[in-house]
Structure 1
Amino acid sequence: MPDGSVVTSHPVVEALLAHYRLQIGADLDAYRNHVYRGLNYQRRLLGRGEVSNDQALAWAVHDLGIWTAHTFDYLAPSAELARQHADEAEVADLPRVIEMVELHHKLRPVYDPLVETFRQADRMDVARGHLRSGLARREIDEITAALPYYGFHRFLLREAIRRITRHPLHPLPMLRW
């Protein structure tokens, strides 16, 4: 079980964010904290204290294609980044890491607990903790106090509006049924 602490650093996440810091630019703090909030929500949903390198890599790259491929259709580019960095991150199960990345915007549940809690944790953060998937409000508040949003939702809104104006018939290409 998690000990109630909030994980604010992991070597795999830090290495990837440092590698892509120039591409992420001004959004780095917002993305970094989104990654760690999601990682902590997933950790609590799973009832685990440790964070595997597989989870850390998936969290580090899950939205990274927004910046590296310059697109809001970022799941495939983000999954490709997981493939590229799997060896250096010493992942144990790359297919599962890819699933976490590719299915994190799936609208229906996933039967693999690791993939499903990843999906739930990302949704919780995008919803600012209003969708809690069983976590207590105090847990959400504890995590967000340690890892503030830093304009993350403003960034999401800006990118969504940009996408909608350019592609009104396909505004959210990352969603999966």
Structure 2
Amino acid sequence: MNQSLITQLPRVEQLFDRYAERFGKQQTTYRNHVYRLVNLVIAQRPLNVEELDKLQIAAFFHDAGIWLAGTFDYLPSSSRQADHYLQEEQLEDWSHDVHNMIMNHHKVSRFSHNHLDLTEAFRRADWIDVSLGLLRFGVPMARIRLIKRSFPNAGFHPLLLKLSGRQILKQPWRPFPMFRR
């Protein structure tokens, strides 16, 4: 396990700069979630340079539709935004992998039986973070605490509760994104 944390990701920072106005006061909240996810994936498996780059894109866009499309039904819009970005950057070959990470990050059951699969590691990382470490998938609690101390919640979980409450009031018949896949 890599002991040092990744605290600066150029592509992630460039994307946050690009969309700063859309995130507003919640930019730090979401940025910290993105960095927690990246570090939780790395706590599960080593990454090569290309995988880290794909992970940066998927991590940035995975929930970004909440802010960029203004919807809590954000998986399709997040994936579309990522596809658009990949086209701009001439990285269309990565679309399948990035799409899988985004569209399956809330999946309750495994995406793959191969625990080293990047999409599966990303799915588990999101569940570790959203569950506040109750689900760990083999990541040591000490590592989770270190990641959480380095990238504090900054209101992320209360934001999820607020958005969930709005969704229930607005469309009680429509299940949350994590229950539709």
TM-score bucket (shorter structure)? over 0.9
Q: Which stretches of structure 1, 4 residues or longer, exceed 3 Å deviation after superposition?
A: 47-51, 87-92
Contact kept in structure 2, 1:62 and 1:78, CA below 8 Å: yes
1:156 counterpart residue number:
160
Question: Mapping of 1:60-99 within 5 angstroms?
Answer: 60-87=60-87, 91=91, 93-99=94-100
Percent of matched pairs sharing the same residue? 36
Between the aligned partners of 2:37 and 2:90, the Cα distance in structure 1 is 21
Q: Normalized against structure 2, the TM-score is what? A: 0.90
TM-score, L = length of structure 1? 0.92
Q: 1:43–1:49: 8 Å Cα contact kept in structure 2?
A: no
In the alignment of these two chains, the number of paired residues is: 176
Query: Using the alignment, how far apart are the partners of 1:133 and 1:176 within structure 2?
Result: 22
Question: What amino acid sits opposite 2:103 in the alignment?
Answer: E
Instruction: State the 1:88 CA deviation.
Output: 5.2
Equivalent position of 2:101 in the other structure: 100
* Runs of 5+ unmatched residues, structure 2: none
Letter in 1 for 2:32: N
**Counterpart residue identity of residue 37, structure 1:** R
Aligned partner of residue 140 in structure 1, secondary structure: helix
Report if aligned partners of 2:108, 2:178 keep a CA contact under 8 Å in 1.
Answer: no
CA RMSD of aligned residues (A): 1.7
Structure 1: tracts of 5 or more residues without a match: none
Comparing 47-56 with 68-77, greater Cα deviation is found at 47-56
**Which one is further off, 44-53 or 164-173?**
44-53
Deviation of 1:90 after TM superposition, in Å, equals 6.2
> 1:73-109, CA deviations, whole angstroms, 9 ceiling, x for partnerless residues?
0001100111111155564522111110011111110
Contact 2:86–2:94 (Cα < 8 Å) also in 1: no
Indicate conservation of the 8 Å contact 1:160/1:171, yes or no.
Answer: no
Contact 1:104–1:115, Cα closer than 8 Å, also in 2: yes
